Amino acid sequence: QFTALSSLLVLSACGGNQAAGDEDGESSGGAVKADIGVISYISGPGAAYGEAITNGLKLAQEEINGKGEVEINLVIEDSAGKQDQALTAAQKLMNSENVTGIIGPTLSTEMNVVGPEADLNGVPIMGTSTTAEGIPQIGDYVFRNSLPEALAIPASIDKAIEKYDAKKVAILYGNDDVFTKSGFDTMKKAAEEKGLEILTIETFQKGQSDYNAQLTKIKGLKPDLILASALYNEGAVIMDQARKMGIDVPFVGGNGFNSPEVINIAGDAANGLIVATPWYGEKEDDKVKEFVGKYEEEYGKKPDQFAAQAYDALYIMAEALKNAGEADRDALRDALAEIQGFNGILGEFSFDEEGDVVMDPTVLVIEGGAFKEFN
Ligand code: VAL
């Protein structure tokens, strides 16, 4: 009954989904052609996420289209990291642009409103950076290839305990964002499970610039470790202010911290930040080296985790389109669900039965102003 409902909605919304004779989706011996919508955080305080993501997508698009089996046209929309703008973009992509699938949006907070809408309309959607708990569980059409906090944070905490013999922690998190809240839940649960004493739990809001109250309290309690769930713009300012106040203990950050922007903003204050990631650009792997080289040549900087996940995501989409054999939303959904053992620059990738990620993280630490493998 699900398919009937979704095609009804699509029909009433745009008068037919990829009708026969449509210039898209032909596969008669040639390439499968498809319009793929992209919703990305391209402007505003978190724009470095979207910049990396769209760079990674464009690089993959060039390579994929060059191979001739699949021809992808990317229709890119800016969400500015806002739920309402992300939803408007999704509606435009689904209804007037009539895309076969969507990549994005960038933030879990955005996916929380866009995912249910795409699912209802029967449009497959894949987050490349959405790491909060529960994203693929939104519905059958919702996927992600980003490493969830639930896998990343426990790995980081384990390493920090092992390395620093940490016993007491303070937690600091943004309480007005789906991802920062979810990251906090995961941190709290992991800390409890690992027998860490939680000295205090402090909160902040998006766009906050002064963390003196929270950090003063944390400093007085003398934690061995600070667990912080934040996007990079708030996260970097928190680290900067903490170091200025003389708090020099390591931080364990969630996925929001896994951007070179943290180092650009906080400078040396970012040293001692531990994050887990599926992407490490210094890996001795031919695919990784080729990607890093091409990316640097094209964009004049090294790719970060957001670029790498987006790059692999478009390859996963292309593989699914090829297997589907046509630019059809339901066929693409089914083909995505069947992706197993995909070999990308992030290593071997599979979706589990809920469309969530099966992958192993690497733990990194910022030392001397750069992300290094944390051994
Ligand atoms: N991973 C985060 C989220 O899910 C950000 C950093 C993109 O919202």
DSSP string, 185-199: HHHHHHHHHTT-EEE
pLDDT, position 280: 86
Q: What distance in Å separates the CA atoms of residue 337 and residue 311, rounded to the nearest whole number? A: 19
Task: Give the contacts of 362 (CB within 8 A, at least 6 positions apart).
Answer: 276, 277, 278, 279, 280, 373
Q: Give the DSSP H/E element, type plus range, for residue 37.
A: strand 32-40
**Which residue has the least CA distance to atom 8 on ligand 1?**
107
For the chain, which residues score pLDDT lower than 70?
Answer: 1-29
pLDDT, position 359: 83
pLDDT, position 13: 41
pLDDT, position 283: 85
DSSP 267: G
Question: Which homologous superfamily is 149-277 in?
Answer: Response regulator (3.40.50.2300)
pLDDT, position 239: 98
CA of 283 to the centre of ligand 1 (A): 24
pLDDT, position 350: 87
CA of 8 to the centre of ligand 1 (A): 32
Task: Say yes or no: ipTM exceeds 0.85.
Answer: yes
Residue 97 structure tokens: 């642009």
Parse the chain into domains and list their residue ranges.
Answer: 2-147+285-358, 149-277
Q: Which atom of ligand 1 is nearest to the CA of 178?
A: 8
DSSP 2: H
Question: Quick check: helix, strand or coil at residue 222?
Answer: coil
Within 6 Å (CB) of ligand 1, which residues are found? 49, 106-108, 129-132, 179, 231, 255-256
| Pairing mode, strands 362-367 and 273-277 | antiparallel
Residue 352 structure tokens: 């589990």
Q: What distance in Å separates the CA atoms of residue 277 and residue 285, rounded to the nearest whole number? A: 16
Q: What distance in Å separates the CA atoms of residue 17 and residue 13, rounded to the nearest whole number? A: 10
Q: What distance in Å separates the CA atoms of residue 79 and residue 38, rounded to the nearest whole number? A: 10
Dihedrals φ, ψ of 255, to 5°?
Answer: -60, -30
Domains 2-147+285-358 and 149-277 share a fold: yes
CATH of domain 2-147+285-358: 3.40.50.2300
Q: What distance in Å separates the CA atoms of residue 157 and residue 226, rounded to the nearest whole number? A: 10
CA of 152 to the centre of ligand 1 (A): 12
Residues in the chain: 375
pLDDT, position 25: 53
CA of 324 to the centre of ligand 1 (A): 29
Residue 266 structure tokens: 């906080």
To test the pocket of ligand 1, the residue of 79, 129, 185 to mutate (highest count of ligand atoms within 8 Å of its CB) is 129
Cα-to-chain-centroid distance, residue 208? 23
Q: What distance in Å separates the CA atoms of residue 303 and residue 293, rounded to the nearest whole number? A: 9
Helix axis angle for 212-221 and 232-244, nearest 10°, is 60
DSSP 59: H
Q: Which residues sit opposite 127 in a β-bridge?
A: 144
Question: Quick check: helix, strand or coil at residue 228?
Answer: strand
CA of 131 to the centre of ligand 1 (A): 6
To test the pocket of ligand 1, the residue of 42, 103, 107 to mutate (highest count of ligand atoms within 8 Å of its CB) is 107
**Which residue has the least CA distance to atom 6 on ligand 1?**
256
Q: Which atom of ligand 1 is nearest to the CA of 130?
A: 4
User: Contact 112/178 with Cβ under 8 angstroms?
Assistant: yes
Residue 285 structure tokens: 């792997």
